[in-house]
Chain A
Amino acid sequence: MLFILLRQSFTNQMKAMFLMFLSVAMGTAVSASLVAISLDVQGKVSRELRSFGANITIEPKVEGLAGLAGQRRFLSEEDIPKAKTIFWRHNIIGLTPFLELEALLEVAHSGATSKRKVMGAWFDHSIMLPGESEPFDAGVSSVMPWWEVSGSAPGEGEALVGVSLAQELGIKSGDTVRLMGRDLRVSGTLSTGGAEDGLLVLNLNELQSLSGNEGALTRVMVSALTTPMDEFAYKDPDTMSKVEYEKWYCTGYVTSIAKQLEEVFGGSRVKPIWRVAETEGRVLERLTVLVYLLTLAALVAAALGMSTTLAASVLRRLDEIALMKAVGADRMGISIIFLAETFIIGLAGGLVGYLISLAAAHYIGVEVFGSALDQKGILLPASILSALGISSLAAWLPIRRALMVKPAVVLKEVH
């Protein structure tokens, strides 16, 4: 009988049923794709952020009066391979050294001179690591993939000019600049969107020998594969229990890796670049909260849409409900009819919503992140359950309305 009633109810009010189905399906689709994205986004965003490059910088430690006096301290190039001997060596996926100096720069064709920052960096430079057969790429592109060089990388006797410096001094590719008594041919321009746009960039080893700072470095940028910072990562290691300390130590937080790098680079100060490291953890957390709020909003909207449609349907069917009550239906009997309807709609809506979310998440993944999202299998039962949840929630008020029907009154009014 319930089957007959449901069949009739669906065929007699196709429009209402379709509307309810639509709102549940859309709500589920939106929320399921949001959740799919947020589940996948953690990895994706941290990967995106990592392509912004380094998350750890190593700089010389400058302390007290020495710093005030402007005394320069350097890192040693010899320490670089040591970075790949620490506990976390496998997680260091890129590193590149820099030397930065100030020097008098003379442009050959105009004769203009000015004091400028000059930087030495490795382009296409590999180093051999102890005990490894494959060379390790320590060039600038391994950490700063966004450095855009037009022309060619500076070789022996060559230099790159940052785009803003080139504009300011009127230097073009092929021009000659004079630095520390040596003529350098401009092999191209460098565009990074950062401070490097105002610099003259040489090959690191050439700058070292020109300035007489053999083997000296002012900075090493490291790109490390890390575990996103969570609450545990911010705990003070000194207050940890043994189990916790073990776990903290063996977890690849950026702080743990930085601590170990500091131990191998003599006289260094190693800092996580929080812009990246923190974004990975904390900002993602906020993003997740936002996504869940949006998900909730989508589900609530779907529930409201369904609730109003169902309420209208109940109002249309008041006579019928009154009649059923007169024939002997109790509250349960009436509720079951409407609950079964919403159950079917919820089930179908959840299923279709999930399918739509598959497509949507795939599209968003491709559009925003350039790669398809990993669909989580758990989303199928989750979206069906939430669809069932919101549809029964939506049915609550209309069913209450239906239960309030007084058969004696309603049946009297019908003519």
Chain B
Amino acid sequence: MNPLIAEAAIIGCKEGLKLALVWYVCRSFFDAYGRPGLMRFFYFGVAVASGLFVLSFFMPHDMAARDTVARLTGYVFFLFFMAAVALMYNRPGKALSGVSGLEPLAVLFATALYFSPDIVGASLFVRELAVLSGQVAGIYFSGAFAFVFLIAFFVLLLAKRPLKGVRRFLGLAELFVFLALLKFLGSGTKGFGEISLVSSVQQGLVKFVHDAAHQSLLFLMVPDHPLLVTTTWNFIGFFFSGPFTAFLALLILAGPMLGYLYVTLTGDIPIPEGMDSGAERRMYRAEKRAFRRRRSVMAGAFALLVFISWYSVGGGRAGATLELPEPRPIVPEAGVVSMDLSGPGFDLMDGRLYKFSVNLEGETVVLLVIRRPDGKLAVTIDACEICPPDEGYGRSAEYVVCVYCMTPIPIETLGMPGGCNPIPLEAEITDSSVLVLMEEIAAKWRFVTSSKSKEGIR
């Protein structure tokens, strides 16, 4: 079978599974709270989102489009997450309360919002497959849809009756936590990219802080460059990068859940009047406690998932097979990127792999710096001329390894052009920092995007 068809099938399965799961839980939820009629609006919402797949035909099939969709997915996740948090802290856990006239609209809107980025992303992916193979997109679409329906069919078979005990585990807040959780999981291996939402916000923030300070100093006609040297900026940048980012993301995502767990699990249980016997009072408290515990399951699962992803993406990676450092964002000063030789928590000359990211006309370019065994510093772009640049290089025990094709590169050859080696950059190394011109980066980055050497392959 054509492997591309298989990929279409897999994405069909994934989307189908997600759709079916959400459908099943929502249906059981509406049923349990006596509002089965709301399901109609759920279907409308799905229909609206599905209609959006036409959008993908008007989108260019390049990395920028994919990035946009991924980002949108991230925003939608964040919206649902925020809604969940707001509902959680706005007890007393009323489900489906509020203005009843608005409920259908809310369901419709939420459903459409929930599924549209996934559907657009998936159809973009499928269309890309078609372009890659040079065949008609219809084949792939029908393949993907066949699997969406297949999965939906199986779920329908298995899930004839609504889930029991939904009320015990899910209030409205918990439903939202579940939806956010599924979104978090459903974005696949790259999916913990929602965490990188934080990092992109941070990049924006660091630029904003820089620009604001710079502009206001300029406005006051104070020459700021002697005052705020690049080092200072890079030091500030530390708080917006690397482990700090990961920790912040952890705090933002897991914090509210943990707080909620703490409040519900340790909170007092007031005993109503008229309970005379100790046994009766104890029973009442035990039941209340069990109820609170069940209602905390979703929040606990969410927090756990965030911790696991944090561990596997950040914390655990230090010991993983490949060392894959997080790039530190850097703001160029007057067209020059300046990387400190050493700073809080790092030393470029220690032989480990360092990555820095700069913004080049809206694109993020990652730079790679490593000390070679001969003592010289190799400064390159974190990409070669051939492989896709999204993954870059990692550091194994002895070599630098291309993450895409796992080809080992002898470290002593880093800084030499050609082959699978990262594209070298002209850099000036001073006593305290490594300087690279933005022009140089732009010139070399063109090799990556133009894929000139790829043309020569066949």
Interface residues of A (CB under 8 A from B): 39, 43, 47, 87-91, 93, 225-227, 241-247, 249-252, 374-379, 381
Partner of B409 from the list A91, A374, A378 (CB cut-off 8 Å) is: A91
Whole-angstrom CA separation of A90 from B406 in the bound complex = 15
Residue of B nearest to A232 (CB): B405
Residue pair A376, B132 in contact (C-beta under 8 Å): no
Query: Once the chains are docked, how many angstroms separate the CA of A340 from the CA of B115?
Result: 41
Q: Within the assembled complex, what's the spacing in Å between the Cα atoms of A396 and B157?
A: 32
Nearest Cβ on chain B to A140's Cβ, whole angstroms: 20
User: By the criterion CB–CB under 8 Å, are B319 and A252 in contact?
Assistant: no
6 contacts between A and B (CB under 8 A): A87-B418, A88-B420, A91-B420, A225-B408, A251-B405, A377-B317
Chain A residues near B399: list those with CB within 8 A.
Answer: 225
Which single residue of chain B is at the shortest CB-CB distance from A46? Answer: B408
Kindly supply a per-residue 1/0 record for chain B positions 411-448, scoring 1 wherever the CB is within 8 Å of any chain A CB and 0 otherwise. 00100101111000000000000000000000000000
Is A245's CB under 8 angstroms from B458's CB?
A: yes
Chain B neighbourhood of A375, CB < 8 A: 319
> CB-CB < 8 A to B316: which residues of A?
377-378, 381
Q: Nearest 7 pairs between A and B by C-beta? A: A377-B319, A90-B413, A252-B407, A251-B405, A250-B386, A90-B419, A377-B316
B4 within 8 A of A: yes
Contact pick for B407, options A39, A251, A378, CB 8 Å: A251
Please tell me which one of the listed residues A43, A88, A377 contacts residue B419 in the complex, with CB atoms under 8 A apart. A88
Q: How far is the CA of A379 from the CA of B311 in the complex (A)?
A: 12
Task: Find out whether the CB atom of B407 lies under 8 angstroms from the CB atom of A374.
Answer: no
* Cβ distance A160 to chain B, nearest Cβ, rounded Å: 30
Taking the nearest CB of chain A, how far is it from the CB of B342, in angstroms? 25
Query: Does B318 make an interface contact (CB < 8 A)?
Result: yes
* Residues of B with C-beta under 8 A to A243: 132
0 or 1 for each of B283-318: is its CB under 8 Å from A? (1 = yes): 000000000000000000000000000011001111
B235 within 8 A of A: no
When C-beta atoms are compared, the residue in chain A nearest to B133 turns out to be A241
Measured in the bound complex, the distance between the Cα atoms of B457 and A245 in whole Å is 9
| Complexed CA–CA distance, A43 and B395 (Å) | 13
B405 touches A89 (CB 8 A): no
B409 surroundings in chain A (CB, below 8 A) = 90-91, 225
CB neighbours of B458 from chain A (8 A) = 245
Contact flag A43-B405 (CB < 8 Å), given A241-B3, A241-B133, A246-B457: no
Using CB atoms, name the residue of chain A closest to B458: A245
Assembled-state Cα–Cα distance A367/B419 (Å): 36
Taking the nearest CB of chain A, how far is it from the CB of B143, in angstroms?
Answer: 16
Residue B94, interface by CB 8 Å: no
B321–A39 CB distance below 8 A = yes
Contacts of A249 in B (CB 8 A): 386, 457
A252 touching B405, Cβ below 8 Å? yes
CB pair B457–A43 under 8 Å, yes or no, is no
- Interface size, chain B (Cβ < 8 Å): 36
- Of B132, B384, B398, B419, most buried by chain A (CB within 10 Å of CB) is B419
Residues of B within 8 A of A90 (CB): 409-410, 413, 416, 418-421
CA distance A249 to B454 in the complex (A): 10
Residue among B311, B321, B420 making CB contact with A250, cutoff 8 Å:
B420
Given the known A-B contacts A89-B419, A241-B4, A377-B320, are A227 and B133 also in contact in the complex, defined by CB atoms under 8 Å? no
Q: Which residues of B contact A251 (CB under 8 A)?
A: 405-407
> What residue in chain B is nearest A225 (Cβ atoms)?
B408
- Known contacts A88-B420, A89-B419; 18 further A-B pairs (Cβ under 8 A): A90-B409, A90-B419, A90-B421, A91-B420, A225-B409, A241-B132, A246-B454, A246-B457, A247-B387, A247-B404, A249-B457, A252-B405, A374-B397, A375-B319, A377-B315, A378-B316, A378-B319, A381-B311
A264 → chain B closest CB, angstroms: 14
Q: What CA separation (Å) do A39 and B322 show in the bound complex?
A: 11
Query: What residues of chain B lie closer than 8 Å to A252, measured between beta carbons?
Result: 405, 407-408, 420
Using Cβ atoms and an 8 Å threshold, which residues of chain A touch B142?
none
A374 to B321, CA, bound (A): 8
Q: Which residues of A contact B133 (CB under 8 A)?
A: 241
CA distance A240 to B406 in the complex (A): 19
Contacts of A244 in B (CB 8 A): 3
Q: Are A227 and B408 touching (Cβ within 8 A)?
A: yes
The reply to whether B320 and A378 contact each other, CB–CB distance below 8 Å, is: yes
Q: Which residues of the other chain, A, contact B413 by a CB distance below 8 angstroms?
A: 90
Which of B319, B410, B419, B421 sits near A376, CB closer than 8 Å? Answer: B319
With most chain B CB atoms within 10 A of its CB, the pick from A246, A250, A381 is: A250
The yes or no answer to B196 lying at the interface (CB within 8 A) is no
The CA of A331 and the CA of B406, in the complex, are separated in Å by: 52
Min Cβ gap A378→B in Å is 5
Docked CA distance A227–B398 (Å): 14
B396 at the interface (CB under 8 A from A): yes
Let me know if A89 and B418 touch, CB within 8 A: yes
A227 CA / B404 CA spacing, docked (Å) = 12
Q: Which residues of B contact A241 (CB under 8 A)?
A: 3-4, 132-133
- Choice from A47, A87, A242, A376 contacting B321 with Cβ under 8 Å: A376
Identify A87's interface contact among B315, B387, B396, B419, CB under 8 A: B419
Nearest-CB distance from B438 to chain A (Å)?
Answer: 27
User: Which residues of the partner chain A approach B321 to less than 8 Å between Cβ atoms?
Assistant: 39, 376
Closest chain A residue to B413 by CB distance? Answer: A90
Which residues of B lie under 8 Å from residue A43 when comparing CB positions? 396-398
- Once the chains are docked, how many angstroms separate the CA of A88 from the CA of B454? 15
Query: CA separation between A89 and B317, bound complex, in Å?
Result: 31
- Across the interface, name the chain A residue whose C-beta is closest to B406: A227
Kindly state the separation between the CA atoms of A242 and B3 in the bound complex, as whole angstroms.
12
| A357 CA to B398 CA, complexed, in Å | 23
Bound-complex Cα distance A250 to B133 (A): 20
Please measure, in the bound complex, the distance between the C-alpha atom of A88 and the C-alpha atom of B386, giving whole angstroms: 13
Closest chain B residue, CB of each to CB of A230: B406
> Quick one: closest A residue to B457, CB to CB?
A249
Alpha-carbon gap, A300 to B408, bound state (A): 37
CB-CB under 8 A from B318, the residues of chain A are 377
